[in-house]
Amino acid sequence: MKAILLSLLVAFTALAPALAQKTIDAKDIIAQINRKQSVSYQNVTINGDLDLTNLANRKEVREGFWKGDSEQFLSVVEVPLSFKNCTFTGKVLAYRTEDQDRRIIKVSNIVYNADFAEAVTFDGCQFENDAAFKYSLFSQRAIFTNNTFRDGALFKYSKFRDEADFSGSTFRDYADFKYTTLDGRKFSPNGR
């Protein structure tokens, strides 16, 4: 009996790492990008907001001088990103705004964006919260296949210079691809 129990204990101990779902904090991924290290994760849960708009290389690209003008900041993801079968519990942000001065007519805000210089892959992922890529430039291929977007998916005004693939993805809430450009052609959900 002791031998059987010991064997079971050894078997469970050996299998535990394989059965446990790995988690990583989104801030660790940002630190990896800031160190210019390629990002590649498979079968992990990413906790917290993955805010790609606040990288170490962020620069001001437009200064707001007048009431109603926006200040704009741009970060560039300079390494390849690959996420396969991952779950994002927080937001994935390549676009965000902060209101500075809210009045009835005039609104000043700060806009933060992220562009992607290298290939981007999100395959088989679950986005539990917003995924915002508004105004992002994807210089290399952008693969967003077999994903589930449970909350808003914002790709409005995004530019894809190379292959862009969204096949097999499901959008459970609002998805905005208005004015999106694919290799010089406008994106149209109905093929026109």
Element (H, E) at 131: strand 131-132
Number of domains in the chain: 1
3-state secondary structure of 17: helix
First to last CA, the chain: 71
Q: Do β-strands 164-165 and 185-186 pair in parallel, antiparallel, or remain unpaired?
A: unpaired
Q: Does 4 reside within a domain?
A: no
* Range(s) of the domain holding residue 120: 23-183
How far is C-alpha 53 from the geometric centre of its chain's CA atoms? 10
Q: Does 151 reside within a domain?
A: yes
Q: What is the pLDDT of residue 133?
A: 98
Q: Does 13 reside within a domain?
A: no
The answer to whether 117 and 78 are in contact (CB under 8 A) is yes
- Matching residue, tokens 């589930």: 148
Kindly tell me if the per-residue pLDDT of 190 is higher than 80. no
Q: Does 160 reside within a domain?
A: yes
Q: Does 171 reside within a domain?
A: yes
**Structure confidence by residue, pLDDT tens digits, 20-62:** 559 999 999 999 999 999 999 999 999 999 999 999 999 999 7
